[in-house]
């Protein structure tokens, strides 16, 4: 272990993050398989990026991933709220600082201190929490439309809930594409998310 390194990401955050990443990738790829059996739009997802091979197996993957996602998601919420992780790392989030960070990012100025999230990251991590909750709620609405009919009605009925579920997936996939692009642009953030430790960094661009 590097003697100069300091802890930046606590073990629960790392475990929850990587389990969540696996669950999300399984859910998205198997969801695309299910979508292909009854598309909402005039396109299907390429077979190579779907999981399961056919509808029934896609559903099995989706339901298996669902439990990991749900249990891990509850763990994430409980840890984030009880330990103060969300409050300390995602807040404060002032609109002015968010606009400034957006301007910086547009000009590819990406100041980053490992272990400290900039306003754009804070907004994205809070936003993806809301999107994930919407995904789960709309998923429940189309999984159990009879038992959970009040929830399904809240989304405007079964057919409308399918669209909500699809658009929430699209928002999550967009988050993931941006998240992975940022990791590729600032690759020194990746190892600390695995080992938990990093050398104290100056703000580098």
- Which segments of 144-189 does DSSP mark as H helices, in order? 149-154, 158-185
Per-residue contact flags (x/-) with ligand HEM for residues 141 to 180, judged by CB under 6 A = -------------------------------x---x--x-
Considering only residues 97 to 126 of the shown chain, the ones binding ligand HEM according to CB under 6 A are 114, 121, 125
N-to-C CA span, the chain: 26
**Interface with ligand HEM, residue 13, by CB under 6 A:** yes
What does the radius of gyration of the chain's CA atoms come to, in whole angstroms?
Answer: 19
Rounded distance between C-alpha atoms, residue 76 and residue 141, angstroms: 22
**Interface with ligand HEM, residue 89, by CB under 6 A:** yes
- Token pair listed for 132: 């994930």
- Token pair listed for 95: 């609109």
**Interface with ligand HEM, residue 183, by CB under 6 A:** yes
- One residue of 51, 66, 123, 128 binding ligand HEM per CB under 6 A: 128
For residue 198, what are the β-bridge partners? 6
Q: Which residues bind ligand HEM (CB under 6 A)?
A: 9, 13, 17, 20-21, 24, 89, 114, 121, 125, 128, 172, 176, 179, 183, 189-190, 193
């Amino acid at each position: 272990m590097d003697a100069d390194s300091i802890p930046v990401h606590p073990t629960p955050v790392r475990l929850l993050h990587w389990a969540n990443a696996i669950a999300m990738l399984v859910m998205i790829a198997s969801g695309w398989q299910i979508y292909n059996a009854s598309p909402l739009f005039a396109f299907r997802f390429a077979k190579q990026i779907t999981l399961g091979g056919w509808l029934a197996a896609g559903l099995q993957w989706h339901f298996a991933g669902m439990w990991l996602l749900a249990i891990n998601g509850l763990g994430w919420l409980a840890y984030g709220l009880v330990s103060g992780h969300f409050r300390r790392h995602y807040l404060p989030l002032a609109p002015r600082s968010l606009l400034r960070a957006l301007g910086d990012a547009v000009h590819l100025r990406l100041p980053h201190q490992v272990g400290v999230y900039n306003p754009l990251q804070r907004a994205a991590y809070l936003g993806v929490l809301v999107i994930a909750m919407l995904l789960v709620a709309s998923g429940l609405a189309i999984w159990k439309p009879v038992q959970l009919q009040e929830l399904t009605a809240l989304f405007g009925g079964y057919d409308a809930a399918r669209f909500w579920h699809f658009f929430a997936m699209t928002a999550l996939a967009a988050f993931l594409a941006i998240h992975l692009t940022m990791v590729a642009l600032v690759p020194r953030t990746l190892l600390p998310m695995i080992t938990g430790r990093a050398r104290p960094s100056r703000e580098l661009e």
